[in-house]
Every structure is written in C-alpha cells, then in structure tokens.
Amino acid sequence: MATDFTLTLQLRAPLALHQTRAGVQYVETLDYIPGTALRGALAEAYLAEHGTPDNTFRALFLSEQVQYGDLWPSVEGKWITLLPATARACKRHGLKHSASFRDALLDVWTNPDNKCPECAESLDRVGGYLCSLAPAEPLAPRSRLRISTAIERSAGTVAREMLFTQHTLVGQRKTQDKSDPVLFRGTVRLADPSLKDPLGTLLKAPLFLGSGRSRGLGEVEVKTWVEAPASEPLADRWRKFNAVAQRAGGDPNVRYFSLTLLSHLVLRDDLLRPVLDAITPQHFGLPDGVTWVRYPDSDRQVLFLSAVTIPGWNAALGLPKPDTVALARGSVLLGRCDADQEQDALNRLAQIEAEGVGERRNEGFGRVAVCYPIHYECWR
C-alpha cells in the first residue's frame, strides 16, 4: 500500500516552465510544475551531491517505487480543484462573473440553455484552478514577461535579430493583493515508506526547476513535506455523484461515475500508437459491462477529451526526449454500469485512484480522480 506525501514548494526566483520545446523566440510558461520536471530536478540534485547513480538513486528515480505528481498552484490551507474540460463560465467575463460558473458533465440528459445570470452572455469553457467551489474562487498564478537577447559566441556581443520573450511565474496571485503568495503543491507517492527519509534529505538541498537556471531563474525551496491528509472516501463521492445524476435525469437502475484526468495520460495500444479518443473502459481495466454513457438523442459518447504533445528533456543524457502524445489533464469521461456491478466497478476505480493508469506514472502521468466533486457540487 503506497503512502502519499504532500510537497509544497515556494518560489525564490521566477520560474520558466516551457509549454513547447525551447528554441522559439516567444515562450509561454505552464502554470504548474510537472512531476517530470520535479523528478528531473531532484535527480540532478542527487547526482550533484553523490556523483554517480547508486542503489538509492535507482530506487528514487528509476524504479516505479516513487511517483512524482504535478505540483499545482495553491494557497495556504485550501483544497485546490483543477477545472476540468466540463467547467463553464461567462463567455465574456469568465469567472469574474462567478455566479455563471457551473460544471456541465451531468447535462447529458437535459441539455440546458445556459446563460450568465449577471450579463445574459452564453457560457464557455473555462480553465485554471479553483481554491473554493461555492462560491467559485479562481486561483491564477501571476506571470511576468522577460525579454532577453542572445549573445554571439564569436564576438561576445548581442546577437542580431535574436530577441527572446518568455513568460515566467513569480509566485504571486493574479487577481488578489500582490503580497498573497502562490505556493506549488502536489503529492509524491511512495510505494516504500522507508524512501521518505532519503527523499527528505534531498529536498533540503537547493532545487532548480525549469529553464534559464544559468540566468538565475527557477530556484525553489521546500516549504513543507508531510504525509498527505486523507481525501473524501470514494464510496461517499460515488453516492453523491449518483444522487445528482438521478436528479439530472439519469436512469435509476444504472450507476454512473466520472473519470477526470488530473494529469496527462499516456496510453498506447499494442502497435504503440497513442490511445486518444478511441479510449474504452477496458483501457482503464474496468470490468466488462462498464461502458461510456451516450447522449440519449444520438450515438455520441459523453467524452470531453483533448490531446497534448509533451516535449521532454533527458537531464542524464543532455538530450531531448522524443515527443509524447497524450490525453490532456482536465479530460473527463462519464462511465456507467449496472447496479449489480457496482462493487466490482468500485474496487477497480479505487485501485485506479491509488495507482494511476498508463505509462510514466513515476513522472506524475496518469493520475485520475473518480467522481471528482466539482461534477456534482457545481451542477445545477
């Protein structure tokens, strides 16, 4: 049985986490720290201190014993929700019109005509994070633009026509008072709890993440490293989800559940092709008989999926990793099973939450939430 630890980082310098491969002249930053970047930084710090890879290094970074989750922006004392692909808010004003906010997953049977109650504008997809569900309170990290030039190697002077513009995270909230710090928090899952100590020692060293480290970017410090609090039990979330699904028009003889990707999901078929919109419940190892819900008036499945290309950097080799195509974090699937299959389905779903799904789970990929509360708490 794996143990989850919560890791909270505070920025000591701006952080640049590229969404795409570096080399272009205008670069946006991710608004979270991917587990793969965390793992890479820790591996580098380990090698800087110990020289060559040893058994502890292999246990921490090369085995499946440690899963480094993504670290999301967060504030002290709040439970953060990733806005899934089903989240909707005012098309014009977004979450500034917080009364417009809702989750559309359970609209399958009713298909309501949604308008913003504040300005009557229609609703549109909204992304980001919430630090409170009701009322909806967004949490957006502030970013700052940095502009720099390249240096001509031969002359040691500014290279012509080489101006680089990049966004960096600065560790503050966007909308609130600037002094309100944004921390980055996520879970590291240890299959062997005895690895907590070597990892804790490593977390005391200065850590550098992202790009521009030679120019003073990316320094972070560990604020807390503690055992994760228990989340609401799956059986309770399942019950609440189904109660709202019934109110929304679901069949009372059927059990419903959602699968919400909290991180990118890397799945490949037997021919090593990425599994994207052809994903089935059996890819999740769910029992036969579990299917995706279909819209009542068409044969279309209720899937809110998007794909993402993940670039990567192999720090040990100093080489780029091949791009990976994956299902993007925030994607949502709506599943169903017969009432007599409830227990079988729940058993497997609990395992999915505890272990993740797909490839590269030690880099934080494949984290899934079942019956994510936003789908039932924010449907109305």
Distance CA 93, CA 104 (A): 18
CB of 136 to Zn ion, least distance (A): 13
CB of 116 to Zn ion, least distance (A): 3
Taking the least distance from each CB to Zn ion, the nearer of 90 and 293 is 90
Other CB atoms within 10 Å distance of the CB of residue 213: 15
CB of 125 to Zn ion, least distance (A): 14
Q: Are 321 and 313 in contact (CB under 8 A)?
A: yes
Q: Does 118 bind Zn ion (CB under 5 A)?
A: yes
CB of 171 to Zn ion, least distance (A): 30
Q: Are 140 and 174 in contact (CB under 8 A)?
A: yes
Question: Residue 201: which H helix or E strand, with range?
Answer: helix 196-202
Chosen residue from 38, 82, 87, 90 binding Zn ion by CB under 5 A: 90
Which region among 25-33, 121-129, 321-329, 354-362 touches Zn ion (by CB under 5 A)? Answer: 121-129
Chosen residue from 116, 262, 265, 374 binding Zn ion by CB under 5 A: 116
Distance CA 380, CA 374 (A): 11
What residues numbered 153-182 form the site for Zn ion, per CB under 5 A? none
Chosen residue from 48, 119, 134, 159 binding Zn ion by CB under 5 A: 119
Q: Does 221 bind Zn ion (CB under 5 A)?
A: no
Taking the least distance from each CB to Zn ion, the nearer of 27 and 89 is 89
Q: Does 124 bind Zn ion (CB under 5 A)?
A: no
Which residues make Cβ contacts (< 8 Å) with residue 31, sequence separation at least 6? 73, 128, 129, 140, 141, 143, 169
* DSSP state string for 79-109: --EE--TTEEEETTTBTTSGGG-EE-GGGTT
Among 68, 54, 84, CA closest to 260: 84
Distance CA 219, CA 207 (A): 6
Site string for Zn ion, 7-36 (x = CB under 5 A): ------------------------------
Q: Does 93 bind Zn ion (CB under 5 A)?
A: yes
Contacts with Zn ion by CB under 5 A lie at: 90, 93, 97, 116, 118-119, 121
